[in-house]
Structure 1
Amino acid sequence: MAVPQNKQELLQAISSSYQQLRAELLTVPEERCRERSLQGHVKGTQMSVSDLVAYLIGWNELVLKWSHAKVRGEAVDFPERGFKWNELGALAQKFYADYADLSYSELLTRLQDVYGRIVELVGHCTDQALYGAPWYKTYSQGRMIQFNTASPYANARNRLRQWKKANSLA
């Protein structure tokens, strides 16, 4: 998929990759969703499908947090307070823990909700706001949103499809 260059393309990329991912997530048997048999976000670790969903929720929530802080004129700690860009594995572990108490269906509902809020956020932005100027270092707001929504959705779908195939669930 080409890198989105405007609001409409960004919305299409987010929606398309989310819908494809959701279709895959809905076919995961409930009894397998906590099984730690997917390659984790830290080299040499394993995660569950539930952890993968928690990871996506965590990043999507960060996108919203960054965007709301920027609108209020507040400084943003990228990627998250207490974490540096070279500590993303630890941040992933935090996301797994943050949502560990939710059932698989609750995680899917939470992901659906945060996805909807991302779409709403983008829908309220102009092309100029999304792509007209750097928003974080050299990256536009649209690019940062895409990095943390559409791209991870597509990556998660690929991981999930490989896992399902390896576990005879495809």
Structure 2
Amino acid sequence: MPAATNKADLIAVAEKEFAKLDGLMKTVSPDVARRSFEDGWSIRDVVVHRAHWIDLFLGWYRDGQAGETVYFPAKGYRWNDLKTYNAHVLADCAGVDWAAAQAEMTAAHARWTGLVSSLDEVQLYGGPMKGANNTWTAGRWAEAAAPSHYRSAAKFIRACLRAAR
């Protein structure tokens, strides 16, 4: 699927993919949500993880706009440390139940939508995102943080539900 190149398409793809993910999450029972599947990850883990990464993006954008150092993926970590970083995220969220995980995903989507809706075409696609140190626009980062994550989470959930049958 090609990346969005304008605000309307970005919001449309985000709403479409979130609706799919939200619908799937509503079909998952708490016991299945906590069951370990691929590489020891549960559905709950994936949802908590994706919500966390939306908030990472929001922080990256905020920090870049403020002229502060933007840490990718997070302060003290490099991209090749993702396994360790993600393990820390999951450990920090171990007590989050399935209802709270779903609520956090919905809230993260609302925060993402709030930011994207507040930006104009130039802020989203007029040039590289401030602080990112690459050529990706804020819109491209926003798409990677939300619609792309919704799509991959939905794919994971569908596979888990098939395996649980």
For structure 2, which runs of at least 5 residues remain unmatched after alignment? none
Moved over 6 A (4+): none
In the alignment, structure 1 segments of 5+ residues that lack a partner are: 40-44
- Give RMSD over aligned pairs: 1.1
The 8 Å contact of residues 43 and 156 in structure 2, kept in 1 or not, is answered as: no
TM-score normalised by structure 2 residue count: 0.93
Rounded to whole Å, the distance in 1 between the matches of 2:7 and 2:144 is 14
**Counterpart Cα distance in 1 of 2:83 and 2:49:** 10
CA distance in 2, matches of 1:71, 1:56: 23
Residue 2 of structure 1 aligns to which amino acid in structure 2?
Answer: P
> Residues of 2 paired with 1:14 and 1:56: CA distance?
14
TM-score (norm 1): 0.91
Find the aligned partners of 1:131 and 1:153 in 2 and give their Cα distance: 21
Q: Distance in 2 between matches of 1:93 and 1:24?
A: 24
**1:88 corresponds to:** 82
Secondary structure of residue in 2 paired with 1:4: coil
- Structure ranking higher in helix proportion: 2
- 2:96 counterpart SS class: coil
Alignment deviations for residues 51-88 of structure 1 (CA, whole Å, 9 cap, x no partner): 11111111011011111112222111111111111122
CA contact (8 A) 2:125 2:139 kept: yes
1:61 alignment counterpart: 55
User: How many percent identity over aligned positions?
Assistant: 26
